[in-house]
């Protein structure tokens, strides 16, 4: 039943040979990897506006200059990551680049920063998307958490179905957003050309509540730098592209950067030109759309497309987070389960982990994207800086043709992102950036702890120095727990006889009475050659008396002969029938598996299943 429900949601399993067929062309890849980057202007514009509006018209007059500076920064970062894609054609995210070129600790720092960035990106995208549609329909504000969680479930299921499904599903909202938003911006540019003179900001801006200063400008700039999140996703997912993968990935990155720059500069420029100011329960993009196209169908189309692209912007995280966790797991810095490829040829455990962590953030921050934004810029720019610094050393070490130019480009990227990281850390520290500053080192410690555990396990399991196993062990003693006499018991006893001539059946008597006499009589009738022992259980426990019996008989047989426990287990025909049967065999197995014995000889447990018919 569980498998049927799973396959209904995610689709039937796919053979490994279809891995190449599940790879993405440029159109699907742009839809799968770019929603976060393309849609980030929704919350980046909002954060710049909120940061400058408190300074009145003087602050709002800096919207376009700040947007221009961020766009130039975007160009440098995109150019730097184009170099990364060329240098690491098999996928070179921040973790891979930093670890190979800067060392383990910088690599783990980049990996932790990137994972935190992906989680926060998913949470911010969903909550900002709900805020966009709630601006058009204010009655939805009280339900924003539930709407965000519902969208999260839908995106999770789509990604569990596989790469092509996620790329195809995301293509519709991404391209709807591009068409509607670019169309609105072009229309706005035409209106601006006709109007000719910008709207005086002093006439529309609210009174200043604080003076414009350097710190305020830095604060707005650092808030707007969230527009750069998602740029790295393509360099992480190069292997998801069709061959030649790195060429297609690089072209897709360039297209994405050009679209990002136009959307960001265009929206910010028109916002300042027309003197657009948002109300208390409205986003700045909603106010801009109302100013350009009015409150009719075109306005609602823009808002719905913004919601759609922000909802699927979380898909950038779902495309990148599982790949990074898989790489970390392969290097034994995260649980090995995160490296497993699921039925649909995706890292399903990473997808489920990201979904759970995103849900926790949405609930913890009450669905408020403004409260989440200060946290994730630190992670993004930490990863940017370490990755680009690592690429400089990569080119210096290889010294291939043109390495000086490549090293300069990545060096410039490391410099500007490092300075931006410093500005973000200073200006946003008290607003929540301190959480990221603490979480990233904590993640590094977690990675090292997991690695230490795996190394310890490897030492314990190593065959090094162990002589060949030539010792002859005697046939074991066998113990069979008995609850009743049935056909399944026949198979268990017959198997026990085949491996040992010392078989003991144990009946744990939880309710003294005639049942004990009846079971003993039946046992002697069917298995007269097998010893039958009754153990009293005054506290009605099955497990503890059985363990005590095993320890007692081990002390009596100090010849090194192990007691093998054979469990006859009834297997229902349907999974839902399991709730109609007790799970005593499972309880016994768990107790024995986790029992650490001082003798060093661990229990051997053998299941003998008996399958029931419908």
pLDDT > 90 fraction of the chain, expressed in percent and rounded = 17
Return the CATH class of domain 477-611: alpha beta
What is the C-alpha separation between 462 and 469, in angstroms, rounded?
14
Tell me the pLDDT of the chain averaged across its residues: 82
> Is 28's pLDDT higher than 60?
yes
**pLDDT-derived band at 456, boundaries 50, 70, 90:** confident
Output 315 or 73, whichever has higher pLDDT: 73
E strand or H helix at 5: helix 2-10
Cross-strand pairs, 443? none
Give residue-wise pLDDT tens across range 545-574.
888 888 888 777 766 566 888 988 888 777
Q: In the chain, what are the domain boundaries?
A: 2-454, 477-611
Give residue-wise pLDDT tens across range 309-331.
877 777 778 877 888 888 898 89
CB 493 within 8 A of CB 464: no
Q: State the pLDDT at residue 16.
A: 46
Instruction: Single out the residue of 400, 326, 338, 292 nearest to residue 93, CA to CA.
Output: 326
Average of pLDDT values for 169-182?
84
Whether the bond into 244 is cis, omega within 30 of 0: yes
**Which tokens go with 36?**
């976060």
Q: State the pLDDT at residue 13.
A: 52
The single residue listed with the structure tokens 């509006």 is: 53
E strand or H helix at 568: strand 563-571
Average of pLDDT values for 386-412?
89
Output 513 or 305, whichever has higher pLDDT: 305
Give residue-wise pLDDT tens across range 125-153.
888 778 877 877 888 878 888 888 998 98
> Is 56's pLDDT higher than 80?
yes
- Whole-model pTM: value is 0.73
Give residue-wise pLDDT tens across range 498-540.
988 889 999 988 776 666 778 888 888 999 999 999 888 877 7
Q: State the pLDDT at residue 21.
A: 47
Highest mean pLDDT out of 34-48, 570-584, 591-605 = 34-48
Q: State the pLDDT at residue 358.
A: 92
Average of pLDDT values for 339-357?
78
Average of pLDDT values for 36-51?
80
| Spatial CB neighbours of 612, under 8 Å, sequence gap ≥ 6 | 570, 571, 572, 573, 577
Q: State the pLDDT at residue 430.
A: 73
Superfamily of domain 2-454: Amino acid/polyamine transporter I (1.20.1740.10)
Q: What's the gap between Cα 406 and its chain centre?
A: 32
E strand or H helix at 609: strand 604-611
Average of pLDDT values for 374-394?
85
Average of pLDDT values for 389-396?
91
| Spatial CB neighbours of 530, under 8 Å, sequence gap ≥ 6 | 480, 493, 496, 497, 503, 504, 505, 523
Give residue-wise pLDDT tens across range 236-261.
778 778 888 888 888 999 999 999 99
Output 6 or 381, whichever has higher pLDDT: 381
605: left (phi over 0), alpha (psi -120 to 50) or beta: beta
**pLDDT-derived band at 281, boundaries 50, 70, 90:** confident
Query: Which H, E and C letters describe 173-197, residue by residue?
Result: HHHHHHHHHHHHHHHHHHHHHHHCC
């Amino acid at each position: 039943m569980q498998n049927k429900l799973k396959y209904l949601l995610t689709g039937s399993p796919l053979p490994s040979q279809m891995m190449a067929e599940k790879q993405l062309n440029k159109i699907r890849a742009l839809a799968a990897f770019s929603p976060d980057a393309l849609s980030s202007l929704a919350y980046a514009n909002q954060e710049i506006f909120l940061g400058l509006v408190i300074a009145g018209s003087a602050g709002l007059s800096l919207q376009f200059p700040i947007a221009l500076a961020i766009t130039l920064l975007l160009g440098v970062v995109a150019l730097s990551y184009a170099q990364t894609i060329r240098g690491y054609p098999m996928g070179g995210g921040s973790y891979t680049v930093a670890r190979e070129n800067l060392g383990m600790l910088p690599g783990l720092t980049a990996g932790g920063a990137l994972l935190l960035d992906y989680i926060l990106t998913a949470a911010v995208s969903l909550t900002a998307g709900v805020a966009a549609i709630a601006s058009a329909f204010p009655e939805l504000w009280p339900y924003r958490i539930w709407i965000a969680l519902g969208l999260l479930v839908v995106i999770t299921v789509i990604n569990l179905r596989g790469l092509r499904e996620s790329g195809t599903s995301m293509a519709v909202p991404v391209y709807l957003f591009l068409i509607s938003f670019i169309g609105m911006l072009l229309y706005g540019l035409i209106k601006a050309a006709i109007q000719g003179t910008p709207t005086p900001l002093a006439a529309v801006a609210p009174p200043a509540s604080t003076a414009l200063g350097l710190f305020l400008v830095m604060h707005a700039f650092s808030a707007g730098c969230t527009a750069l999140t998602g740029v790295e996703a393509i360099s992480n997912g190069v292997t998801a592209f069709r061959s030649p993968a790195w060429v297609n990935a690089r072209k897709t990155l360039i297209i994405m950067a050009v679209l990002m720059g136009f959307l960001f500069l265009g929206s910010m420029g028109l916002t300042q030109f027309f003197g657009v100011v948002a109300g208390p329960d409205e986003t700045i993009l909603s106010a801009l759309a109302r100013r350009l196209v009015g409150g009719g169908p075109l306005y609602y189309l823009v808002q719905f497309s913004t919601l759609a692209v922000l909802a699927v912007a979380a898909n950038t995280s779902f495309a990148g987070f599982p790949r990074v966790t898989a790489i970390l797991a392969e290097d034994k810095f995260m649980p090995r389960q995160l490296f497993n490829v699921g039925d649909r040829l995706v890292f399903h455990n990473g997808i489920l982990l990201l979904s759970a962590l995103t849900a926790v953030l949405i609930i913890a921050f009450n669905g408020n994207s403004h409260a989440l934004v200060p946290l994730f810029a630190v992670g993004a720019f930490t990863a940017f800086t370490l990755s680009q610094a690592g690429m400089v050393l990569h080119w210096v070490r290889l010294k291939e043709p043109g390495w000086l130019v490549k090293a300069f480009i990545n060096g410039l990227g490391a410099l500007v992102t490092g300075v931006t990281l410093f500005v973000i850390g200073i200006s946003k520290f008290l607003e929540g950036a301190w959480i990221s500053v603490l979480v990233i080192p904590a993640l590094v410690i977690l990675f090292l702890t997991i690695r230490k555990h795996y190394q310890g396990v490897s030492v314990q399991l190593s065959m090094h120095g162990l002589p060949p196993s030539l010792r002859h062990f005697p046939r074991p003693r066998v113990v069979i727990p008995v609850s009743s006499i049935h056909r399944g018991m026949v198979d268990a006893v017959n198997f026990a006889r085949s491996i040992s001539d010392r078989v003991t059946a144990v009946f744990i008597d939880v309710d003294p009475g005639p049942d004990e006499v009846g079971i003993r009589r039946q046992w002697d009738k069917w298995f007269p050659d097998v010893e039958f022992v009754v153990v009293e259980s005054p506290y009605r426990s099955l497990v503890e008396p059985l363990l005590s019996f095993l320890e007692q008989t081990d002390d009596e047989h100090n010849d090194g002969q192990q007691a093998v426990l054979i469990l006859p287990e009834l297997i229902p025909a349907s999974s839902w029938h399991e709730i109609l049967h007790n799970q005593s065999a499972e309880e016994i197995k768990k107790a024995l598996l986790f029992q650490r014995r001082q003798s060093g000889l661990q229990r051997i447990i053998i299941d003998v299943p008996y399958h029931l018919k419908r």
